[in-house]
Copies of this chain bind each other. A is one copy, B any other.
Amino acid sequence: MVHIVVNYSLFFQICDILGTLAFAISGLRLAASKDFDWFGAYVVGLTTAIGGGTIRDLLLDITPFWMTNPFYIICSGLALLLVILFKQRWVSQEHTWFLFDAIGLGFFTVTGIERSLSVGFPFWIAIIMGTMTGAAGGILRDVLINETPLIFRKDIYATACIIGGIVFHICDAAGLGHEITAVIVCLVVIAIRMLSVRYHIQLPVLHLKINKE
């Protein structure tokens, strides 16, 4: 299996930390609503944070990113500690975590695209992998807590990743450098995510009158 190591600048390392924390905490919060114990909650938080990238790396046939660096395991543990210690002040910080989640979504989309391109896959695969990196963790989280996936029913979420992927392609074709492209895509995803929630923009629901099977 191919080992891929990408060195990110400080800006992206901060995005990675904030995003991983925010994703893990979204898993921990939903696990808590199901009365999971600390271990169960940790697994749900960790799965939310690393699940999308893990499926991506299995499909790309490269060593899953969290297996070459214990950062993600530790960061999810830190998220559990934060939730256990500061649970009372949580509600008031809703907006902060929403912002961090959006930052994570943007950053994870960029990493998914870059890793796919770095092992030689074409752009349409990279866009799918970017979207999967950002959105599949939340789907796995909802499967583990036995709910229908939230992102299939609510808000613009994965769609922001797809648009981010297309913007990446455009920036790349326009000859923009790697670093600037990554920043632009990250900001585009964050902006789409925040605007869609602010103005309640949703995708149409699929309606179909059928006799139940």
Q: Please report A residues at the B interface, Cβ cutoff 8 Å.
A: 1, 28-29, 31-41, 43-44, 54, 58-59, 61, 63-64, 67, 70, 73, 80, 83-84, 87-88, 90-91, 94, 121, 124-125, 128, 139, 143-154, 158-159, 202-213
Contacts and interface: CB of A to CB of B under 8 A. Distances in A.
29 contacts: A29-B208, A32-B206, A32-B208, A33-B212, A34-B148, A35-B153, A35-B205, A35-B206, A36-B152, A36-B206, A37-B153, A37-B154, A37-B206, A38-B203, A38-B205, A40-B149, A54-B59, A59-B64, A59-B67, A67-B125, A73-B124, A83-B206, A83-B208, A84-B206, A87-B209, A88-B209, A91-B209, A143-B143, A146-B146
Q: Which residue, A36, A58, A84, A147, has most C-beta atoms of chain B within 10 A?
A: A36
Contacts of A208: 28-29, 32-33, 83, 87, 90
Nearest to A64: B59
Contacts of A154: 37
Contacts of A37: 152-154, 202-206
Given A38-B203, A208-B87, A149 B139 contact: no
Contact of A39 (B28, B80, B158): B158
Q: Which residue, A1, A35, A148, has most C-beta atoms of chain B within 10 A?
A: A148
Q: Which 5 A-B pairs have the closest CB atoms?
A: A40-B152, A32-B208, A37-B203, A1-B61, A41-B206
